[in-house]
Chain A
Amino acid sequence: MLQAVQERSSITDSLDITQIARDHYDSVFRFCARRVGSDAASDVTQETFVTAQRALRSFRAGSSLKTWLLGIANNECRRHARHWRRSPQALELIEAATPSPEATWISSQALHAAMKKLTPEQKEAVVLVELDGLSYEEAAKVAGVPPGTMKSRLHYAFATLRKALTGETE
């Protein structure tokens, strides 16, 4: 058993947290900025890596380092929001100055209004997949829900957005 423990330790010991920070800082920063705002993002990102440094031994070899870090970042963002006694401002989309050329039938204002119809869980799903660029499985791990739940949340979120944007009724 001791051998197994030592093997596991050698795996985590081989992970250099400063190199991990260099490799993943940008994606963690953007993830945090979407949730706590760009002003607080660097502080929350730093706390994410400090927490990761302390918890590095609990990282499962073979797991995705990226989703492990984003899970910690998600928690740090919530902690930040709780500390400042406000909901994560996250999940609020900042409208692009120029509309997408491929979907001119969707105005930024209409999209913004449609997003307000989503539940917090649906918004989180949309941001994780559409903005953070995670797969359903990765997004589910970060949100702490089964992949099927993530898929369902996205389906209903997009059904709501589509109906709101096209004016379609049931």
Chain B
Amino acid sequence: MNIRLNLKAYLDGELAPREAAEVEAALSQDPLLKTELEQLRAISHVLAYSAPQMDPVGLPETVERLRQAPPCPSPWMLPAGLALVAVVAISAVALIMGTGVRPPFYEDSPMPTPKHKAPFRGATGFKILVDAKVVVSVKNLEESIQKVEEIAKSFDGRIESSRTTGSGEPHQQTMLVSVPSAKLQEAVDKFKALGVLDKAMSKKGSIAVSKEAEEIPPAERTVSVVLRLVPPR
């Protein structure tokens, strides 16, 4: 293998012992490689040295605001009537660069827990909070985001979260929307009409429903949809 590919990782102590030993063996035999390593070390040092020193401000204000925020109630302590609200998860993805980009890591974490019911886990260990996914391609991400908000509002729903992903210019948007369960299908149809539907990525009905999920009474089950917005190529 090309030792140079591991040189920076070796410098940062990010290699496994066996790989590090390979780099060290190569360094002992190649003076040019050793020079490169020292150059990388110098660049790293200068970069760190160039970091501006900033004194954080605003901690008291932030703590005060956090204290004033209402506590998040336990899911199972909420009134049963709220169980009528279904959650629609909209994952809106627009790809500008032509390749898929993974969402930020914390979107790999379980989605925000619906306030009206307890979380539950599927056979894979992931919570099942998304029952359907809709993926569409759109030409204008900002306009589409606004349309999603309008659709949610028109169905007496709300945006639970809206996350931009992709490095550099935002080119994908993940949104979590709640709508009343009775209006779910109609809302989903509206979301599908936002752009070109990616049938392969879209799923209908419960996703990965496990035996545990079957223990959830149907009336309290969260019905959700994931929608991705992808600009046409």
Inter-chain contacts of B186 with A (CB < 8 A) = none
Most buried by A among B6, B52, B58, B62: B62
Q: How far is the CB of A35 from chain B (nearest CB, A)?
A: 12
Given known pairs A41-B54, A144-B101, the reply for A136 and B9 (CB within 8 Å) is: yes
Query: Which residue of A49, A82, A151 is within 8 Å of B14 (Cβ)?
Result: A151
Chain A, range 14-36, C-beta contacts under 8 Å to B? 17-18, 21-22, 25-26, 29-30, 33-34
Query: Nearest chain A CB to B223's CB is how many angstroms away?
Result: 19
Q: How large is the interface on A (under 10, 10 to 19, 20 to 34, 35 or more residues)?
A: 35 or more
Q: What chain A residues lie within 8 Å of B9 (beta carbons)?
A: 136, 151, 154-155
Report the stretch among B65-73, B131-139, B148-156, B197-205 that lies at the interface. Answer: B65-73
Instruction: Please encode chain A, from 30 to 66, with 1 for each CB lying within 8 Å of some chain B CB and 0 for all others.
Output: 1001100010011101100110011111111001000
Task: Tell whether A120 pairs with B109 under 8 Å between CB atoms, given A22-B63, A29-B58, A53-B66.
Answer: no
Identify the interface centre among B8, B44, B57: most chain A CB within 10 Å of its CB.
B8
Chain B residues with CB under 8 A of A68: 106, 109
The range of chain B's interface size is 35 or more
Asked if residues B43 and A58 are in contact (CB atoms below 8 Å), the reply is no
- Most chain A beta carbons < 10 A, residue from B4, B14, B39, B105: B105
Is A100 an interface residue when CB atoms closer than 8 A count as contact? yes
In A70-97, the 8 Å CB interface with B consists of 71-72, 74-75, 78-79, 81-82, 87, 93-96
CA of A166 to CA of B7, assembled, Å: 17
Contacting pair B40 A158 (CB below 8 A): yes
Bound complex: CA A81 to CA B63 (Å)? 24
| Complex contacts, B62 vs chain A, CB 8 Å | 21, 25, 42, 45-46, 49
Interface set, chain A 124-170, CB cutoff 8 A to B: 124, 126, 129-131, 135-136, 140-146, 151, 154-155, 158-159, 161-162, 165-166
* Contact present for B45 and A102 (CB under 8 Å): yes
Cβ proximity bits B1-31 to A, threshold 8 Å, 1 near / 0 not: 0001111110010100000000000000000
User: Which chain B residue shows the least CB distance to A140?
Assistant: B105
Contact (A58, B111) CB under 8 Å given A21-B62, A154-B8, A161-B43:
yes
Answer whether A21 and B63 are a contact pair too, CB < 8 Å, given A1-B215, A54-B72.
yes
Q: In angstroms, how far is the closest chain B Cβ from the Cβ of A151?
A: 5
Inter-chain contact A29/B54, CB cutoff 8 Å: yes
B158 to chain A minimum Cβ distance, whole angstroms, is 13
Are B106 and A71 within 8 A (Cβ)?
Answer: yes
Residues of B within 8 A of A143 (CB): 104, 167
In contact, B58 and A100 (Cβ under 8 angstroms): no
How many angstroms between the C-alpha atoms of A34 and B175 in the bound complex? 26
Please tell me if the beta carbons of A96 and B49 are within 8 angstroms of each other in the complex. Answer: yes
How distant is the Cα of A1 from the Cα of B113 in the complex, in angstroms? 16
Given A100-B50, A146-B102, A162-B39, 5 additional A-B pairs, CB 8 A: A26-B56, A42-B61, A75-B164, A108-B50, A158-B8
B residues touching A (Cβ–Cβ < 8 Å)?
4-9, 12, 14, 36, 39-40, 42-52, 54, 56-59, 61-63, 65-67, 69, 72, 74-76, 101-107, 109-113, 118-121, 142, 161, 163-165, 167-170, 212, 215
The 6 A-B pairs of least Cβ separation, nearest first, read A42-B58, A103-B42, A141-B105, A29-B56, A120-B168, A100-B49
Report 13 cross-chain contacts, Cβ distance below 8 Å, ordered by A residue: A29-B57, A41-B54, A41-B56, A45-B56, A58-B106, A59-B109, A81-B170, A93-B47, A96-B51, A102-B42, A106-B43, A106-B46, A155-B7
